[in-house]
Amino acid sequence: MHAALPPALREAVDEFARHLASVAGRSAHTVRGYVADLVSLFDHAARMGRTEPAELDLAVLRSWLARLRTAGAARASLARRAAAARTFGTWAHQTGRLPQDPAAALASPKAHRELPAVLRADQAAAIVTAPGDVGRQRAERGEARGQEARGQAAGTRAHPASPAMLRDRAVLELLYATGIRVSELCGLDRADLDRARRVVRVLGKGARERSVPYGVPAEQAVADWLRLGRPSLATPASGEALLLGARGGRLNPTVVRRLVARYARVAGLPATTPHGLRHSAATHLLEGGADLRSVQELLGHSSLGSTQLYTHVSVDRLRAAYRQAHPRA
């Protein structure tokens, strides 16, 4: 579809992509999404006979969204595409490609943001310790088959967890302890950890850097991984990546999503994702008394409105507060 665009529109797409990546500092994932949305818009515009960026107007934008809605696009998809159009419109107007910005007047449906279920504190503890439980179970089965003697031949007991399990424990502990995004977790290097102060340096959306503390259990899991697990998986191509995949490369977010889902099943929990652990961490912080601004900083939200999505509280806590505070409770 990109190759079939009129030359002026295709050039505008490419210039916009370069701007997003090099100037705006957007991630590769964001750039791909915006470019795909813009190509869809320009394909629709070309079908309406518009071959130059300057010919883009509000009528084209509205008919594009209407066509997508008729085709069954979800509200969230329409909202995302309208946001991409508005971002392009602002840039194109500022750079002289559009005499005025028609996208500024473009209305779009509010995306319904459905938050993942919140794990209870005991459930969160169950999932982050699940790799150790699996390791112990495997060690016990191995001992039953006579492997204990080989493991103790030198008078020491073999560590029951494999390198992958040590990594998985570090992944789960860090996700829940810090509430960082899965992409931020996978982007961590060893130098990003200040283990003496138990603080991790995180590069978030828009290349914004923040420091996030983590607790003693996460530090122990990281220490075990770095001492006993990472050396077994590391290759010359590993570089400084903190977390490694099976072949020694930097751990992939898709792998993290799979392992979170797997250990949730092991722990007998509902379907859980890395974002679910982030959501649970934020909720538990707020329920424990952390103020909204602090949680906003820890999560790396540019807007306090994003953090406010996490301010729902459990029914039990709400009832307790009501009974304590209301004179007619």
Tell me the catalytic residues.
Answer: 181, 205, 275, 278, 301, 310
| CA distances in angstroms from 310 to 118, 182, 285, 295, listed in the order given | 10, 18, 10, 9
Please calculate the CA angle 235-236-242 and round it to the nearest 5 degrees.
Answer: 65
Buried b (16+ CB within 10 A) or exposed e, 75-110: eeebbbbbbbbbbbbebbbeeebbeebbbeebebee
* DSSP class per residue in 169-216: HHHHHHHHHH---HHHHHT-BGGGEETTTTEEEEE-GGG-EEEEE--H
Residue position matching structure tokens 């809605």: 69
Q: Which residues contact 229 (CB under 8 A, 6 or more apart)?
A: 161, 162, 163, 164, 165, 166, 167, 170
Query: Which residue shows structure tokens 């934008």?
Result: 61
- List, edge to edge, every strand of the sheet that includes 193-194: 193-194, 199-203, 209-213
Burial (CB count within 10 angstroms: exposed 0-12, middle 13-18, buried 19+), residue 324: exposed
Angle between helices 130-144 and 163-178 (to 10 degrees): 160
What is the C-alpha radius of gyration for the chain, rounded to an integer number of angstroms? 25
Q: How far apart are CA 320 and CA 148, in angstroms?
A: 52
Give 3-state DSSP helix, strand, coil % of the chain, rounded to 5. 60, 5, 35
Report d(CA 222, CA 195) in Å as an integer.
9
